[in-house]
Structure 1
Amino acid sequence: MVRPQGPPPQALAVPGMRLLARFIDSLIIGTLTLGVWIATSAWLYSLKGEDSRGTPVALILIAWELLVILFFEPLTTAMGGTIGKAVCGLRVVQVETGNKLGFGHALGRWLCYLGIGMVPVLGLINVLSCIWNEPFRQCMHDRAANTAVVKRRWQ
């Protein structure tokens, strides 16, 4: 059997480290979300429920939350890796080239992750699928985006 072009087996991230990185990133995103919520709520509370243009506080909070949820992970991934992946010595690369992702590619990968996670049980299967997937230990969102998670220093 011919192995498809991509990272060599010794470069691939260990599934346990990927899961640890995801856990760290989830804590960071949760903390950021809570922090934005508290700070914005306190500021907007002083506005008595509406800003100077009459925009409801809840709408502004939702907009801030969407910005954090939608752009934090893709932005950090495009810059070389999320904080969790950096702590665990990992990075996300394009399967064929081994290059880091651009912002659009990272955003598409993240949107796949979020979409899969909205289906009951499928989100868990997605995260765990790197354990049995061959040849590049990809989760479902990695396969959709044609990416792989590798050790930071493997070349």
Structure 2
Amino acid sequence: MLTYVGIDQMAWLSIPGDKSSGKDFKAWVDNFMLAKNAISCTSDELWGARNGLLHMGTAEAGAHKDPSIRKIYYTFGNAKCTKNDTSDVFVLKAEDLILGFLLGVFWFIDHLKEHPDQLAITSAKLGRALGVRDISPDPSA
């Protein structure tokens, strides 16, 4: 789940506005995760998986009414999925998703180095997200 949160945050950092959408999530995944990684699923499938986990705690989401969007089930390490080998399911190793995300972050950073306008937007947002805030009580109150 936290990997999907990270993707959401990177998508938000990649756009000029303050509210990112599923379209932005999918664009970031397409441009920085799937374009250079060997993950054999689509951004639509990752968006559906994100929504299923976030909103229902399942592999299913409204997007799965579209038969072209497979559900994503997860394995880890050398585990093999032997019971759900159907055309509507894609089995993704959790570490491949995590590594794909981390590599996507590096490729996004490289992209920002070549696009100063987008770097300015991302930097301003990071300043808001990672800024230091004084939480000590107001002594005058």
Task: Tell me whether the two structures share a fold, i.e. TM-score over 0.5.
Answer: no
Give the number of the structure with larger relative contact order, counting CA–CA contacts within 8 Å between residues 6 or more apart: 1
Higher helix share: 1
State the TM-score, normalizing by the size of structure 2.
0.28
State the TM-score, normalizing by the size of structure 1.
0.27
